[in-house]
Structure 1
Amino acid sequence: MNMEKQMTYEMSSPPFVLESHFSEDYLHFSEVINPPEKSDREAAAIWDLLSLKQGSSVLELGCGYGRIANRLAEKGARVTGLDISGILLKKAEADAAERRVDVEYVLGDMRSLPWRDRFDAAFLWNTSFGYFDEADNERVLHEAASSLRKGGRLLIDQDNRFDLLRDQSPIVVQRNDDLRIHLINPDPLTDRRNLERIVVRNGCVRRSRISIRYYGFVEYARMLPSAGFETVEAYGAEGGEFTSYGPRLVVVAHK
């Protein structure tokens, strides 16, 4: 394999980080990481956690390639998905057409949303929250709150930071002869997880870097009321009970 051709993305601002990180390489490994049965199960959990019903209007922030949004539309929700990656949105639209569902996909930045008092529910799934600095992360919560009607619900799902501390070894995903390697460098002083992605495909090596802030429940219990929410609840993976070293922290807030 010819390893000479390399591309390195130097990140100068959060949008550029996200656009380069969530690229065609991300799509290439997506079904290995998120097989259909996993996505089906997660969509069902979101439906229950957000108390959705036929006709509910739902906003997914960081919707990616639509694996959850399109499934919620199949269940009868009216779904809007926003993402900063045009590549992922194109895949989401193609999948929606194949499933014969109508989902509104919007290219945009979750720190500045065009909607006010429109949705019954909103969610950020699979650690789609925490990409920015402290002020902009909290701005995302304010924007999400503003997009919701009174009584609306916001769901945030992320890796449980306590569980992450137990294993910082590289994460390797393989699809045929292609490899995706995540090298993890946690910063305990900022509660951020700095990640370098190395992709080996078609004789090329591509690298990207991203930094994610992991929040604990106490921090959510402070930030979400400040953003306009009245109650905040904690769950574990897919709505189960939260435990210190369970894999996920799921937060549900009511406006």
Structure 2
Amino acid sequence: MPADYHTHTPLCRHAEGEPEAYVDAAISSGISAFGMSDHAPALPEPFDDWRMEEKELPEYFRLIERARSHAADRIPVRAGLECDWLPGCEGWIEDLAGRYSWDYLIGSVHYLDDWDFDNPKWLGRWAETDVDAVWHHYWKTYARMAQSGLFDILGHPDLIKKFSFRPAGDLRRFYEPAIEAIAHSGKAIELNTAGWHKPCAEAYPSESFLSLAHQAGIPLVISSDAHAPTEVARDFERAITLAHACGYRETALFEDRRRSFEPLSPLTPLQPYE
């Protein structure tokens, strides 16, 4: 089973569970490695109500060490952060990168200007929005994040579809410029299984995007985005089948911000999901 590098802790204020419970779930699932990657602090503080604050970073480091101590030699535990790509954030991301011996950093786009568009609190704003314009804004922002080169993994590529607001027509017009930027960056993307449990009822990214990513030679990780121990490696069998149907035969591993690969073996008949 592939590694699961996208998981959270209670420090983000919308997850639950102790690190030992996450490790136990990871071991039970049979994944090859477990990674912690909670929402990184963002400036100026208080930034929002769904991330740790800068003063809590030492506690986050202690949670990572607790997970490693509990895991012992049973499973590798990797240290990461999920960092928001925000205007002018480059210096702050570089600062965070030097705070700990990270194995990887995940870059994510949750904000368009002052709108955390995937936050259910602001769902009503979608009804007043030009969906086509928002998608253009999102994908241009995502491409800039990729071009920055600051991150090892680019998170949930089409998160913008979370509440199932999609423009009409062929969405490849949005995907293709972003795919080009990601491929040029040499960074990996994640196949994030959490989308199957959101209103869009589809993994992040879509099968169409994932196929284009494979054709462009973009490396892949599979992630649960777990916010509770019971969600670690959730739907990985389904994700492996989808990845295989899109052409992927390996997934990426990370240690000390260096990338390697492991084979991705199909667990079920190769049938694409619609």
Q: Same fold (TM over 0.5)?
A: no
Structure richer in helix, relative to its length:
2
Structure-1-length-normalised TM-score: 0.34
Structure richer in strand, relative to its length:
1
